[in-house]
Structure 1
Amino acid sequence: MALFRSRPAFAADVLACDDIPVEPFTEARLRSECFSVLQPTERRADATIELLNDHNEPGLAVIVEVQLRPDPKKRTTWPTYVCRLYEDVGCPIALLVLCADDTTARWAATPIPLGPPGSQITPIPIGPRHIPRLTSATDPAASPEMATLSAITHGSRPGGYDVIDTMDIVFSRTDPTLARDYTEFVLGLLKTHARTYLEKLMATMTHEYHSEFTEKFVRKGLAKGKAEGEATGLAKGKAESVLQIIDARDIPTDARHRHQILSCTDPDRLSTWLRRALDATTIDEILTD
């Protein structure tokens, strides 16, 4: 939900993936996801967004739900979200369901009957087939959020590296802190081979946000070392960070090199190796004094 909370107007972009018409709006803003009434049970959606018209009034409200698998209970709770929000804003409501797979999307697409004569709520499911496979940063749809969603959806599939490359180019034009946060989000959801590819990409110095990401990566390694016990732990953490960066940048090493790094107990030398590892192309460039 970070994508929607970071840029609420992204809800309109995702609705467009399924050709859902959205009236022009001047502003998109978050509102409370809580749909509690006086009963003790709390109803909370994943995100709720208002799209405001020229009069600064809600023209459309969007409830966003992430669904990993079919869940029959949602067919009773979703109508309460819609009705409670409609009571608050009095404008059309879109129930947008982001689905992890097309099977779940087909399940979510089934209208929820509320009773005769034909009263029902119809969710708008968005599955992998709806999400654009972005392979060009010049694509009009290539916002940072859509590039993130495209990488999550298609990055682990055949040809997914092109999608990851496109995301990287889009992020190079984005605020570095936001790009780094989105990258961490994507890394947590990609399969192993795609995650390794993205980690290697982050270890290059091609774009500004790469360096921020790599520095944070190094700091995590140092913090881990400190937690294991002062000087010894710090040296171990630095040594592990050196190897992680070397592996991420695909610099060839052998057992002798790795033993040299892991057995080093000099924090200053390890710090030097860390700095060199960010730019070097061979192991000798890193370890040669």
Structure 2
Amino acid sequence: MMLKLKSVQLLLLLVTALMASGCGNQKEVTVQNPANQKEPQENTAQQDNQEDTLEQFKLLASQVKEPGEVIAFLDANMPKVNSEQGDQLFMELEKFYDRYVPSLNDNFLTMLSKPETAQKMNEIGYPMDINNIKGDDTLKQWLLDQQKGGLALGNTEGQFYWKVDYKTLHKYDKYVSNDIKSYIALKALETEKNYFEDGTIAITREELGDRILKAEYYLTEHPDGLRAKEVLQIYKQYLNTYLTDYRYDAIDDKTLKLLPTVKKSYQSFMSEHPDSKTTILVKKYLEVIDKNKDVIYQKGTDSIMGPPKEDIQSFWDSLEMKVDSLFVS
């Protein structure tokens, strides 16, 4: 009997030990969270911060009185956002300029109507340097403040005005997409030198051809780009001037023919850029020119130069449609 009791006791001890061992093992089993468990929360927080930055900028741009404030904000915050948000911030900057610059130029025109201000502005010289102004620190500082706000001083036919200085906005290249970067590069060319002034081309026809190619590059690389519509209009303006604007320097007054140097520039463009879409248009235009033996205008009755030859005018009239057929899907 004692032997059976001891056997039962031993069996109970063994079962208890096994149960204790099992419970101990269960306590050691823990569920580990994946290493990146917190990433969605972190990404969401980062995205929220970037959206907050955009909203803060919109609010600031609607309230500021000086453009330097918006530039200071972008300088501080552009490095903190991704390229998509950088694009949005840059486009909001352009919206600010669209509102600010027209009223700025209206005020500037009023300022220039005062003889003393106009006289001081003449001290700027050429190339224009605001620091040349002497004896009027208030005017000088006001002009410098506009420059700090990403604006450039322009002068057309003796009339000063403000425009967006896209050359200085190149500093944001590393914070935006290639789309906006290409757009800034194109716009910076106009900041540096207007292509059309005083009723004629202000740069060489070769330089204008280069600008056309840069606009074409944007349109082919970014057909659905954020600034595709704007660049298409720039392209059309450039091309129209390149192929139709013949005031003063492109036509022989006696024969009414296109000057050989201008025709040669078209031929050079074609040979240097055979795969360009623009070359397709230039080639078609040269075919019309050749058909007319280089004569662009008809003889006038009251003046030497009359209207363009009929098929020349027809080509010019259809130019926008031809461009759309190449770039608008």
Q: Same fold (TM over 0.5)?
A: no
Query: Which is greater in Rg?
Result: 2
Superposition TM-score, scaled by structure 1 size: 0.31
- Larger strand percent: 1
